[in-house]
Structure 1
Amino acid sequence: MNKKAKRRLVVVGGIVVIAMLVIVAIAGGGQAASSLSIGDVLGGGYEGKKVQVSGSVVAGSITAEGSSATFRIAPEDGDASQALTVTYDGALPATFGAGVVAVCTGTVTDGALDAAEMVTKCPSKYESAEGSLTVSGLLEQGDAMVGKDTRVCGYVRGEVASVDADHRFTIESQGAELKVRYDGGLDEGIFDGVAVVVTGSLGEDGVFTASEQPAIDEAVSE
């Protein structure tokens, strides 16, 4: 083998080694998250590691400031004693809220999960509007309906907001409008123009607070 061939072989070999090092570095940087239970994370040993954890969002645990939200998730079997604190810096989807199953991916920091990604699993709910009041019918009764459990139906008007907003959406029927609050997750099929049935009560401030997940009217569409 002449000198030129040897030199060419050395150069090619060096390129191959460099390419392998780059591939290993990329593979290490994009390491997949380990799928763990809440109990696993709380048990320790995962500090600084990338993990994926799912659990039910604990009612009353959600706080939001600017684009950052903090909440706790507990095992879906209802064992709230193993709640894990999650911080999430991003826009909260309308499907997020108390009782919703949140799948969170991020890094364990000081025993909590600093989530970079989050998806929610909220069961769809359909219900008939039969026997419910229209918005106009509810408001016409005025103070007599404040604090009373009832069902009201109408069409969603405008945007649907996340759980950290003053109210989630507005419904309209028979020319009257009503703001609706709800601290749980909403079905992804609820958006502008969709007919819904909401169970809850009217507050003194004129806002209707839903006591359960608002349902899509199974018999009506616009």
Structure 2
Amino acid sequence: MNAKMKKRMIAVSGVIIIVLILVLAFVGGNTAAQTVSVAEAAENPQAGQKVQVSGNVVQDSFSTSGNVLTFKIYDPEGDPATQLEVRYDGAASSTFGNDVTAICTGKIDDAGVLQCSELVTKCPSKYENADSALTVSQLLGYGDGVVGNVVKVAGTVKAGTLTAAGMGDRFVVVDAEDGSELPVTFDGALSDEVADGSTVVLTGSIGADGKFAATDVALEG
């Protein structure tokens, strides 16, 4: 092997080594998050370490400012008083709400807040028979006589109206027969099966403002 060939091999080897170093650095910086409980994250935050924490959203603990969502989670199988604050720089999905299971991935800062980069919410589907429910048109037809009374109403989720909890009206339901619409407020968790066009059965009451304050949302089944 002549000197020129040796120099070429040395140069190629050097490039390969540099590439390997960069690849290892990239992989090392994107390693899988360590799964920890809410208690472990709250009591031993290990600032800067990437972790994944699952817990249920504390009732009415969430707020949105700009595009930043903050909330607290707790372990439903542990001490409910032990909570972890989460900050998510991104829009919450329509399934986000009170007591929904939130899977949060990110790094805990020096203040003990989980700076979440990935947020997944899960809520089991609920089904209810709509036979005893009013239609949207029937409910609206009662006028002031039904304001404040707990009733069940069934309708179809209007396309493009689903939002996350805390963002105003949660969605609008439409009467399949005459197209009557009813805005719905709800701060609870929604199943990801609740989507545009889904038929839902709502429990709650209509207010003087014409909005239906739901205490429960189920898919027709």
Hey, what does 1:164 align to over in structure 2? 166
Hey, what does 1:69 align to over in structure 2? 69
Distance 1:55 1:91 in 2: 19
2:93 maps to 1:93: yes
Hey, what does 2:220 align to over in structure 1? 217
C-alpha spacing 1:148/1:30, structure 2 compared with 1 (3 Å): same
What's the secondary structure of 1:178's corresponding residue?
strand
Gaps of 5+ in 1: none
Distance 2:93 2:42 in 1: 26
C-alpha spacing 1:5/1:79, structure 2 compared with 1 (3 Å): same
* Residue correspondence of structure 1 range 27-176 to structure 2 within 5 A: 27-77=27-77, 79-109=79-109, 110-159=111-160, 160-173=162-175, 174-175=177-178, 176=180
Amino acid at match of 2:84: L
Amino acid at match of 1:202: I
What are the Cα deviations for residues 94-116 of structure 1, in whole angstroms up to 9, with x where unaligned? 11111110101111011010101
C-alpha spacing 1:67/1:206, structure 2 compared with 1 (3 Å): same
Shift of 1:77: 1.8
Distance 2:211 2:168 in 1: 10
What's the secondary structure of 1:196's corresponding residue?
strand
Report which stretch shifted further, 158-167 or 35-44.
158-167
What's the secondary structure of 1:23's corresponding residue?
helix
Determine if contact 1:55/1:76 at 8 Å carries over to the other structure: yes
Shift of 1:119: 0.6
Amino acid at match of 2:35: S
Determine if contact 1:76/1:101 at 8 Å carries over to the other structure: no
Determine if contact 1:94/1:162 at 8 Å carries over to the other structure: yes
**TM-score, scaled relative to structure 1:** 0.90
Shift of 1:9: 4.3
Amino acid at match of 1:171: V
Identity %: 42
What are the Cα deviations for residues 93-148 of structure 1, in whole angstroms up to 9, with x where unaligned? 01111111010111101101010110111111111101111122222222232222
Distance 1:9 1:154 in 2: 72
Question: How many residues get paired?
Answer: 217
**TM-score, scaled relative to structure 2:** 0.90
C-alpha spacing 1:45/1:158, structure 2 compared with 1 (3 Å): closer
